[in-house]
Structure 1
C-alpha cells in the first residue's frame, strides 16, 4: 500500500456489519497494482445514520463508496443524483463524489451483464430466463432491459404476487416483453425449453445445500448458457449439470468480481486490474 498522506484519495465501504467484507483487500490491492494514491477503508454505519455519514463524505472529500446491506435504499435516498438504471432497480451499491455532488449507481447488474458478455453469452436479442424474484434478480433484469435488451425475459419465482410485481417493474423500464411464472415443473419446463440463457439468482444450491437445484439435469442442453449467482460453492450442481450437458457456464464469482471492476473504474477512470482483483478473491474463498 502506498504511503498515506494528506493528499491520499479515500474510498470506503458503508455497511452493517462490515468485518467480513473482502472489499478493502480487493480495492487496496488494485490501487497498489496501478500505483494510485488511493486507500479503501470500511465503516460500520448504524442504520438510520447513512444520511449523516454521507454528509461526512462530502465534507471530507471521499472519492467514492461501496454500499452494502442494509444501507442500499437509505443511501439512494440521501445522494444528490441517481443513475437511471439504479433508479429503476430501486437501490444503489456505489457512490461517486464529484466536487461534493454524490451520484449513486448500482454495479450489481452491470457486473452480471459484463460477465455474460465476457463469456460470449451476450443477452441482447436472446430469450432469458431468470430464476428468483429477489434483489439480485431485480438488479440484473432492470440492467438487461435498459442496457442490453433481450428479446424476452421470463422471471420464475415461488411467490406469484412478488413475481408479478417484479414483472411490472421491469416492464416499465423498456420495451422487452417480460412474463412471470412459477417454479413448478408445468410452468418452468416450457420456459427452460425456450431459453437461450438461464440466470439463477436464488440461494438454492448454496453451501451447505450443495446438492439442490431448481432445474433437473434432463432439461439442460448444449445450446444453453447458464449463469449461477451462487459462488459458494463455485461450481454449483446447476453449473455441473449444465457442463455435463455440454452447455456454457458462468460462475457467480464473475458477478461478484464484475461489480467490483465497475466500482473501481467509476472511482478512478482507469481499467480495473482484473487479474490482481481476482487473485485476492480466489485466495480467500
Structure 2
C-alpha cells in the first residue's frame, strides 16, 4: 500500500467490487506491484451490492482507473460498460473494467489466466474430456477459452442452478464447435461425469476459506492420472486438491489462475509489464507459504 503522505489528487486508484470481498488478496498483490514499479496508484476492496451505482461512480471520479470484479457481479457488470470485445461478449462475463476518460471498457482475464495455469502445469487438452463444476462467471470465461483455444474432445458442465446450466450449455453449443454436454449436479451426475473425465475444473466457492471442509467430489471418485484444477486459491490446497493428490491425480491450485489473471489486470491498469515474481511472492506470503 502506498504511504498515505504520497497519495495526491493525481494518484489513480483501482478497486475490487464483489460480495463478499473480505477474503480477497487483490489489494495486497496489486499495491505491492504498484510499489515495485513506482506507479502512482492505489488499490482498495469494496463490498458492493449496487453494481450500477458503482459503475456510475467510476465514470464520475476522474482518477478512477480500473476495477476488478468478483463473485457475484461478473455477469451483471456487463450491462453497465460501454465497450466489450466480441470474444468477451460471447463469453458472457467479465472480471475487469478499465476507465478511459469516463468511457468504460470491460474485459476478462479469468479464462486466459486459467488456460496458462493448465499449460504451465504441462497439461495437454487435446482429445480430452473436461468436467467443469459450476456455471457462474468464472466458469463461463474458462469454458469459452478452453473451447475456443484448445482441441478438447468434450466439455461436460454440471451445476445445481438449472437456469445457469442451461444458459451456459446453450451458449457454448451455439458459439463454439466443441461437443458440449450438461446435467444438473447430483451425486449420480457427478459420479457419471467423473468416470469419463480426464480433467476436472472446480469453479464454485465450495472449499474456500473459512469453509475449508467443503468439497463437491467424493474422494473415491478420483482416478490416478486425472488432472484436478480448483479455482479456489484460499486455502492454497483445498480439500478437493488434497484428496485428489492422495488418489494420484495431478493437481493445480487456483493460486496459479489468480496470479495469472492479476498480472493481466495490472498490465491493463498501468500499461506496463507486471512484476510477476513480486506478485507471486505476495500471494504466497499471504497464504502463509
**8 Å contact from structure 1 (residues 206, 232) kept in 2:** yes
Residues 54-89 of structure 1: per-residue CA shift (max 9 Å, x gap): 3214xx153322234555445322222112333233
Change (3 A) 1:186 1:25: closer
Gaps of 5+ in 2: none
Structure-2 residue corresponding to 1:34: 37
The 5 Å alignment of 1:174-189 reads 174-184=176-186, 186-189=188-191
Of 135, 138, 142, the match for 1:136: 138
Aligned equivalent of 1:56: 60
Deviations 1:117-162 (A, max 9, x none): 2212243543211112333322321232234453210012335554
The CA RMSD measured in Å over matched residues stands at: 3.0
CA distance in 2 between partners of 1:165 and 1:217 (Å):
29
User: What is the CA distance between 1:255 and its match in structure 2?
Assistant: 2.5
1:217-232 aligned at under 5 Å gives the runs 217-232=219-234
Measured in 2, the distance between the counterparts of 1:150 and 1:244 equals 26
Could you tell me how far 1:248 is from its partner in structure 2?
A: 0.9
TM-score by length of 2: 0.82
Of 66, 85, 93, which residue of structure 2 is paired with 1:91? Answer: 93
Q: 1:230 to 1:22 in 2, by over 3 A?
A: closer
Aligned length: 283
Aligned CA distance change for structure 1 residues 165 and 79 (closer, same or farther; 3 Å):
closer
Give the TM-score, by structure 1 length: 0.83
Greater shift, 200-209 or 223-232, is seen at 200-209
Deviations 1:69-112 (A, max 9, x none): 55544532222211233323333221123454421012222322
1:102-181 map, 5 Å: 102-123=104-125, 125-148=127-150, 150-181=152-183
Aligned-partner SS, 1:129:
strand
Q: Is the 8 A contact 1:54 1:78 kept in 2?
A: no
Structure 2 residue matching 1:120: 3-state secondary structure: coil
